[in-house]
Every structure is written in structure tokens, then in C-alpha cells.
A and B are shown apart, each in its own frame.
Chain A
Amino acid sequence: MISLASTILSTSDEEPAVEPITAVVSAAEAGGLFEWFWLLIAFPVFGMLVLLIGGRRTNAWGHLLGTAVVLVPFGIGVALLIDMMGRAEDQRSVVLHMWDWTIAGNFTADMALRLDPLSMVFVLLITGVGSLIHIYSIGYMSHDPDRRKFFGFLNLFIAAMLLLVLANNYLLLYVGWEGVGLASYLLVGFWQYKNSAAVAAKKAFVMNRVGDVGLSLGIMLMFVTFGSVAFEEVFAAAGEADGTVVTLIGLALLLAATGKSAQYPLQAWLLDAMEGPTPVSALIHAATMVTAGVYLIVRSNALFDLAPIALNVVLVVGVVTMVAGAVIGCANDDLKKSLAGSTMSQIGYMFTAAGLGPAGYVFAIFHLLMHGMFKADLFLSAGSVMHNMNDQLNMRRFGALRTVMIVTTGTFFAGFLGITGVPPFDSFFSKDDIIKSALSQNWLAGIATIFAAGLTAFYMTRQLSMTFFGKKRWTQDVKPKESPPVMTVPMIFLSAGALFGGLTMVYLFNLQEWLTPITGFTPGELPIPDWAVEVITIATLAIGVTLAWRQYATRDVPETPPVNVTPLTVAARKSLYADAINEGLFMRPGQHLTRFLVWFDNRGVDGIVRGTASGVSGLSNRLKLLQNGYARSYALTMVVGVLVIAAIFIVSRWV
């Protein structure tokens, strides 16, 4: 690890480059628990089916079942991890072939799962954080009449997410990919009686679909190029393919990733998705689903390694979102939306790291893992606040909550420490790695990462001080108190992760060594000394914290947002005009096109049909007039006929 700790503790940061290992073993060969790892998915599927089909009969115990079917896979995951750690590096990728899935002509996609160090990390993140959030939800949703349904949807999400990370081919990954999208749709729109929730859910799904176009195209290109969509075969043959095609595949996959991970230009749905219950925001829109894009890119590293252009685009997307998300986070007064901006920004970090290629894949996953913990912690704490403030989210009506919600304040502060990167907490390790890696590859990206770190410090301090410090600005009707233990205990667990996750990953469980066989690793060379980087970073953090503290903790915060602000603030409050752009560029032209086509179909296409019909009947009405019933008319017609026939005869004789 090229982190501060490592620079201090180790004498050498010269690390060897590592090539990825593509070998896999079948589940049968691996034996033991590996033959059963499909149970990881089966449990939540079972829970979902029971809860959704069972209906109201399961209301009484549904939440317990829902939680259990996530806890059990977590246990299995831990057991698998221990098993896997005991295996040689080239024996760690296990493929379980279950049945022939889609076979059409020369297209085949098996129902096959793959458990390797990368997916292992995800399995533990999903089931671990997932379990905690399930437990939290028991308390958080206790008053909701549809709590059982909520757990059913959560289980659906867990199952789909696990399928996403365990799939052994892109088509099956697609199933998980859309499955989490569906779960997100259902959960964002969980309170469907609110129009805003329904609209937000739809928006999220549709924008994700735009990304799915990319995934579809990527898979199609893979099939026509490699004749297969399975990971091993695609990765093995990647080198033989034409560079342009690989770049196209990379860009297509990037499009998919931007949709799922709320990166520019498909970022606009994430803020609206905060309409969902807070546990959903924590689990899906912070910790797991939105990071699926990062997973996709890292998983496809064999392709991206061969497509430097695609990789550079990933980097650009990452940097842009990282900064823009942070800017949005700085200006939003809605606690959850501010956190959502932060999520965008942090995933931007991951994309930046992934965009650095083999030098950054590992750090992307590292940061992802850290982010999963501290962001879940932050969201759950925010949920705890919201739960006790009558579902309000306007930070301008919070303040001084530390006096009544001690535990929540503590957990939020732990998350604050985790995300800002104060040594020696989570981000200190993961973000520094990214910063250094970026500096070593692309100084511009490096500077952006440092700047974004400063912004992170600013908006987190802003949130912290506006919510928990300063003066009370509560509305009349709220009487905040601490949340019940069923909520606070998971928060405490997650705070522990936010505080010590980084240390654990670096010193106890060497994540880099664990992942490099999958992702490969190429160390970079820093243009300036390590310590200088760290000093600059910490200085930036300090500036950010100080600015925000002076602005929001020491001065009074007005209850309505001030009007005379800089244009940047105005833009940031409006999420950098993302909705306006989408509306102007796609929705309005789309509506006009639709309206025109409806008109065209009625008047144009069907008009021709109806016109023909009325033309025929009109003609027949005209012809009907010839049948006027007057014998003399008929006689005249006969004369005309005689005349015509005779004329024809005569003319034909002449001719």
C-alpha cells in the first residue's frame, strides 16, 4: 500500500507489477462449501417469494424472515472467505455451472456463478451492510403497514445484487443488473401514494435503461466479436480482437456503468431517488447498487486494459462527477440529497481510480468498500435524525441535535471522520491511494482529486454543523429523541467499520494482495514525494473544514436559504441544471415527437385508410345516382353503350 501508513512503516514502496490470473476452477473441483455457494442467492430469493406471495399472512414475522435470509448468506460468505483465503491464488476463482440457460443457435449463456476474490469482497459488503440495514429497517419501518413488503423488496434487491456480482457471464450479469434496477424502482417508489416518489422511481428506472442500452450493445459486440459472453472466454480472447471494437465495448460498458452509478451524464436520477425510505438510500443508493458500475468496469479490466481511449473516458467521467457531485453536496439543504451528491462524488473517485487502469482498479474497489461502510453509516444516521424529526430533511430546520441524539451524533461523526479522510480512518487510506495513483498517472486528475477532497471536507463539515451543532432551528411540532437500539446498534457497527475499516483492510486483511490476482496491478511513479502529497491533502482538508465550520457552526444559519449568492451556488442548488438540460434536450422534443406521431397515426396513416374507405363509399354513392329508377335514363345508358361499342368497332376497322 502506498498510503501514509505504509510510507512511514515500510522502507520501500517499490512494488512489482502484477498480471491478472484468469484461471478458474469448477465448483466440483473446489468442493466443500463452494458447491453450495448458490445458496447465497437462494436465501434472499426464498425470503422474497415467501414475503411477496404470502401476503398479509406473513406480516407478523415477515421482517424477521427477511433479515434472517440476509444474515445467513453473510455467514456463508464469511465461511467462504475463510475457505478461500486458505487456497492458492490461482485456485480462488470458482465457477459453479448450474444449468444451460439461454441457448439459441450459436449463442450460449449458462446459468453459471463465479466466486472469486473480487466478488467475494462484494458478497461480504452486500450481505454485511445489507444485514445491518435490514436490522435497522425493522425499527425504521416499524410504523409502516407495508413493512413486510418492504422487506420483500429488500430481499429481492439483495438477491439481484448478489446475482450481479456472482454472474459468470455478461448476460446473467445483465439479469442482476436489471434486477437491482427493479428493486431500486420498487423501493424508491415504495411510498407510491406520493406522486414525487412514483415519478422519482420512474425517472431512476428510465435513466438506468439508458445505461442498459450500453450494456446491451456491449454484450452484442462481445458476442459478434468473441462468439461468447462468458467472462473467461471474453477475457481470454480480448487480446486477439481489434482495438476499435474493444474500445467500443469499453465505451458501451461505461455507458451502462454511468447509468447505474449515477455518473455524468446519467446522474440526474440519484438525487430524486432520495424519495425512497432512508434504509433504501443507505443500502442501494449509497453502499451497493450504485457501485455496480465500478464493479462492471473493474470486472471487465481485461477489456479496458486494451482500450486506453475508453479508460480515459472513464477517467474524465469520474473526475467530472467527482467535482460536480461535491459541488452539489455543498449547496443542498436537504440532508439526504446532500449526502446523495456526496455519493456521486465518491463514486466519481472510484471511477477516477478505475480510469487509471491497472494502477487504480484495486483502489477503486478499496474506496468502494470503505464508502459502503461510511456512507451507509452516514445515511443511517441521517435516517435516525429524520425518523425523529417528523421526516424532515431540511438542514436549516435542524441544529443542536447533539444535545438530544448522542448516539446518532457519534455515529454521524464517525462517518464524517471516515469520509473526509482524517488519519487514520477509512478514507485516509483509500482516498490517498487514489490521489497518489492519479498524480502518478495524470497530474490534472490528481489535482482534481485533492480539490474534491477539500470539497468533501467542506460539505461534510457543513452537514455536521448544520445538523448537530449551532442553535436549535426546529419546527414547533418536533420533539427529537434518540432512536431505539434496533436502529442504533447497526449504526454503531457501521461506525466501527467507518472508523477502522481502512486500518483493517491495510494491516489485517491485505486487500491489495487479495485483489491483484483479479485486477492486475501496475505501480505508478509519483512526480513529488509521498509526504508532500499527504501534507497538501491534509492541508486542503483543513481548509475545507475550517471554512465550513466558520460559516455554519459559528454563525447563525438562516432558516430560509439566502438569495444573494454566487451563480455557482445557484447552479449547485439546482443540481447543476441537470433536470433542466434533460427536460430541454430530451423530454420536450420527445413529447412533441410523440404528440406529432399520435396525430400522424390518426390523421396520416389511419387517415389514408379511412380516406380510402370514404373514397370508395363516396364513389359508390355517386354511382348509385346512375341507378335513379328512370327507365329513360337507363335507355340513355344503353344508347351510350351501343354508341361506344359501335365506335370501337368502327375505329378498330379503320385502324
Chain B
Amino acid sequence: MSILTILGIIPLVGSVIVGFTPTKDVARAKIIALVFAVATFVVAVVAVVGFDPNSAEPFQYVAQHDWIPALGISFAVGVDGIGLILVFLATLLVPVVIWAGWNDVEEAGEQSPGQTQGNVRGYFALMLVLEAMMIGVFVSLDVVLFYIFFEVILIPVYFMIGRYGTGRRTYAAVKFLVYSLLGGLIMLAALAGLWYVSLQNFGGANMYFPDLLSMDIDPTVQGWLFWGFFIAFAIKAPLWPVHTWLPDAAGSSTPGTATLLIGVLDKIGTFGMLRLCLPLFPEASQQYAPVIIAISVIGIFYGALVAIGQSDMKRMFGYVSISHFGFMTMGIFAFTSVAQTGATFYMLGHGLSTAMLFLVAGYLISRRKSAQVTDFGGVVNVAPVAAGLFLIAGLSALALPGFMTFQAEFLVLVGTFERYAWVAAFSTLAIILAALYILFMYQRSMTGPTSEGVKGFKDLNFRERWAIAPLVVVLIGLGFYPSPAMNVINPAVERTMEWVGATNPPPAIADATAEATPSDSVEGSAR
């Protein structure tokens, strides 16, 4: 059995056990959940350590079992560097979220009267189910298997928002579900098309991803299939203008749910683009890249500007994420290895920094019983550690150099600059907006005279501090020593570039020396 299968089974087993603990024994359920999450993380670390970045094989830990042979569907798992990074992210965040969100459900209950506070274990069981599904998405090598995980994952999230959230949680949950199902439906159609194409190509259906790469698809068909998959991923990611479910979902879920939803789950969108859209439909991807770049740039600025105008912290982080997802898709569709590496690195960094933002904000919100920025003020005077961690989280979100998010954002911009110079130059302006929305919010909520509602805040306790610590360590550690991640990502990205058939534009100097006419290099690279 592949280590990846084990990785997926552990949280599933855990969720069953958590689900069957006695209702009253909430603490035990939480501890069991944490133990299983940590165990999963340990196995994931084993997998990461055992991963050979220099291997010639595109995928490692591959296991393939027949599942529905008649339809050419198999249970196939395996990871490349990109998948591995995201598995690492998911398995890291789940224990952190459990540990940080120890009392999430109870606190959410206090915030929105009338909510049932019972069945805390259900929340943790769902979280473990979610973890298993997330791992499943990232390691699936069969496209149908990928799709199944892609859709099944909605179920735990739907309940985690709708049942354990705050505010207009039912509205948010239904909106999330309908949006995602719409995307899933379109993807299903495209999947059927892909299945038919594979039938034509191989003379028998085969949905094993590595095999599909050798297919030769008519460009028109590619276009249709590409958009089918892309729209689903764009909704998931979410890109402008199909983003409006995200602020609602973020605003109405518990911090833990929001973390997993935006930190990991949305990465399925960008991961899917990188894993499925690009290699399977290379011509279509390149053909429509300008459109998607344009959408991404709109998203970058749109998300940032709307974030500035938000008064609800969690909603604001949602918009911030929309801006960041714009960067990721821009990097993916710039078709340079720098940008794609940056985008993958961004996925990891964004996951961690968003997690920090949501979790620390969650601590504060649970103390103030409100997520409105105007309800805070002067927190730094009474709870310096909370405010400090909040600032660190904010700084990582605005991609301050020293955090891994900096390299991520910068690489995306540089890589995009290689191909679309003006677009990248324009997008660079977003770093100003990032400073604005983070610091404006920090200034209004954390600094200044201590406001009435904030007096009497207790600073973070042991549990709360140490749940966040791993995130800080990874964010800054990878900022100064990113090689462990980069080494894994680089070969995977190179391979993706190879599959797509894209090559990096050479530096202008090389052009100049080759042609001996050193002119127009900027314009040349802008083309």
C-alpha cells in the first residue's frame, strides 16, 4: 500500500473514532482528533523526507489499482513536487487548526445565539474527513478519482460552515455549495468529454493521468474541455468574478473552517489548473492565457481594493485572498518556470499566512464576540502578543521580504514580467494596496487608545501561542531558506513546462549578444 493511501486512511479512521466517542466526552474527542491529525502530519513528513526531488519519474509513491475497469477508471495515487507541497500544507494545517480551534465551536455558539452548541465532536470528525479528502485530491492520479474527491469535499465543508459557523451561516453554506456544484457540473461535462477523447485516442477508455498526457486532442475540443475544467477551478480558486461566495463563507465560518477552506481547499483550484488544465490542454492553455492573465490582474486589484473597504475582518481576509489568488493564476498562466514556481510557492505561503490571519483574528474575535474592525482598538496595549502575532500574520500576507510569501509574490511577478512586462509592472502596484489594507486594518483594530470593549482582554494563552508558532517558523524559515520547498517544486514545474511545451524567454542580454543589436529588449520581452 502506498504511503499516500495510508496518509488518506489515517484521518478517515480518526474521524470514525471521533464520531463514535460519547457525546459528553468532548475533550476526549478533541484529543483523539488532534492525535490523528498529528499522526497524519508525521506520515506526511515521512513522505516528504522520502521524496526524491531528482528522480526521473514524474510521480512518486505511485500505486494503481483497478477500480472500474469497464470505464477505464482506476484508483491511482502518486505525487509530484507540487502535490507534495500541498499535501504537506494540508497535513500541517489540520493539527494546527484543531489545536488553535480547540474551542471554536463553543465560541461560535456564543457568538450567534440559538446555535446548537452540542456535537462538538462532529466538527472535529468533519475536519478529519476533510483532511482525508484534501489529501485525496492532491494525490489522485486518475482524473475521475480527482473529480470524485473534488466534489465529495464539499460535503464536510458544507456542514462545517452551515452547522458550526456564525452569522448568516446557512446562506453562506448554501451559496458555497451551489457555486461549487455549478463548477463541478461543468467539470463533469468536460470530464465526460475527456473520457470520450481518451476512448478515441486509446481505443479504450483510460483516465490515468500520466497516460492522458500522450493524447493528441483537436485544438477546438481542447478549448472546450479546457474551459470546462478551468471554470470549475476558477470558482474553486476563486477568481474574479466568480468569487462572491468566498467573503460570505469566510465571514460566516469558524476561524478553523475558514483556514482550511481558503488555506487549503481553494488551492485545489490552482492545483487543478496546474495539474490538469495545463498538461492536458497545452494549446488551449497557451491560447487563452492572455484572457486568464487579464482576469487575474483584475482580481488582484479588485480584491485588494474591496478589502480596503471592508469592515469585517474575516470578510476582508476573504477579499485579500481573492487578490492573492489572482497572483497565483497569473503565475500559472505566465508560462515561465519562474512564475510557476512562484505560484506553487505562493500556494504554500498563502495557505500558511491565511491560516495565521484567520486563527489569530479568531482568537481576537472570540474575545470581543465581534469581527467588526470598529469594535476593536488599542488591543496592543492589553494583549501585545496577540497584536504582535496579528501583525506578523498581516506582514506575511502583504509579502514582506523575509517571509516566504515575499519570494512567492516576487517570483510570480518576475516570471510574469518575462512574458508580459507591462502586466507585471502594473500588478506590482498591488504591493502598495497590500500594505494599505493590512496596515489600515491593523491600525484601526490594534493600535490607538484602548477601546471600551477591548479592555479586559486576556493575552493569548499557552495553547493559542503555540498553535501559531509552527506557522511563523515555517513562514520565516522558508523565507530565508526556501530550498527544501524549491528543490521539490522546481523539477515538477520544469516537467509541467515540458508537458505544456513552453520555454522560458531568454534574458535580453543573450538576445543582444546573439543579434549584436542591443535594442528593444524591453519591448521584446513584453511581447
Contacts and interface: CB of A to CB of B under 8 A. Distances in A.
Question: Is the A/B pair a real complex?
Answer: yes
Interface of A: 55, 99-107, 111, 149, 171, 174-175, 177-179, 182, 185, 189, 192-195, 197-199, 201-202, 205-206, 209-210, 212-213, 216-217, 219-221, 223-228, 237, 240-242, 244-245, 248, 590, 593-595, 597-598, 601, 605-606, 609, 613
Given A192-B380, A212-B431, A205 B447 contact: no
Contacts of A210: 432
Interface of B: 175, 178, 240-241, 243-244, 302, 305-306, 308-310, 336-338, 340-342, 345, 378, 380-381, 384-385, 395, 400-402, 406-407, 410-411, 413-415, 417-418, 421, 424-425, 428-429, 431-432, 434-436, 439-440, 442-443, 446-450, 480-483, 486, 489-490, 493-494, 504-510, 512-513, 518-522, 525
A237 B509 CA distance: 8
A242 B449 contact: no
B447 A192 contact: yes
Contact of A105 (B400, B415, B425, B513): B415
Given A105-B338, A195-B448, A606-B244, A205 B439 contact: yes
Nearest to B404: A102
Contacts of A221: 417, 522
A609 B402 CA distance: 40
Contacts of A106: 337-338, 504
A251 B511 CA distance: 23
B313 to A, nearest CB: 15
A213 B508 contact: no
A192 B448 contact: yes
B518 A601 contact: no
Contact of B439 (A194, A206, A248): A206
A177 B522 CA distance: 26
A195 B520 contact: no
A155 B525 CA distance: 42
Given A217-B425, A242-B518, A202 B506 contact: no
A269 to B, nearest CB: 12
A178 B509 CA distance: 29
B378 A193 contact: yes
Nearest to B494: A105
Given A209-B431, A224-B418, A598 B413 contact: no
Q: Which of B401, B415, B425, B446 has the largest count of A CB atoms less than 10 A from its CB?
A: B401
30 contacts: A101-B482, A104-B341, A104-B415, A107-B411, A175-B401, A178-B400, A179-B402, A189-B447, A193-B448, A193-B450, A194-B448, A202-B439, A206-B432, A209-B432, A216-B410, A217-B425, A219-B414, A220-B424, A221-B522, A224-B505, A225-B522, A227-B506, A237-B509, A240-B512, A241-B521, A242-B518, A242-B521, A594-B306, A595-B309, A613-B178
Contacts of A212: 431
A166 B325 CA distance: 34
Contacts of A189: 447
A193 B449 contact: yes
Contact of B342 (A104, A199, A241, A244): A104
Pairs of residues from A and B, 5 with the lowest C-beta to C-beta distance, nearest first: A105-B337, A227-B507, A198-B447, A104-B341, A598-B309
Q: Which of B302, B442, B443 has the largest count of A CB atoms less than 10 A from its CB?
A: B443
A595 B309 CA distance: 6
Contact of B512 (A206, A242, A594): A242
B306 A224 contact: no
A595 to B, nearest CB: 6
Given A597-B302, A598-B310, A605-B241, A213 B429 contact: yes
Contacts of B401: 174-175, 177-179
Contacts of A171: 410
A545 B449 CA distance: 43
B343 to A, nearest CB: 10
A484 B236 CA distance: 63
Given A240-B512, A595-B309, A104 B413 contact: no
Given A193-B450, A199-B443, A594-B306, A248 B522 contact: yes
B486 A594 contact: no
A221 B439 CA distance: 28
Given A206-B435, A220-B421, 9 more contacts: A103-B486, A107-B415, A178-B401, A182-B395, A224-B418, A225-B507, A225-B508, A597-B305, A605-B241
Contact of A104 (B243, B337, B435, B506): B337
B490 A241 contact: no
Contacts of A101: 480-483
A245 B521 contact: yes
A609 B244 contact: yes
Given A182-B400, A192-B448, A213 B432 contact: yes
Given A213-B431, A227-B510, A104 B486 contact: yes
A317 to B, nearest CB: 20
Contacts of B407: 102, 104
Contact of B428 (A217, A224, A597): A217
Nearest to B469: A53
Nearest to B243: A605
A177 B276 CA distance: 39
A174 B493 CA distance: 26
Q: Which of A217, A224, A226 has the largest count of B CB atoms less than 10 A from its CB?
A: A224
A111 B401 CA distance: 13
B480 A111 contact: yes
A176 to B, nearest CB: 8
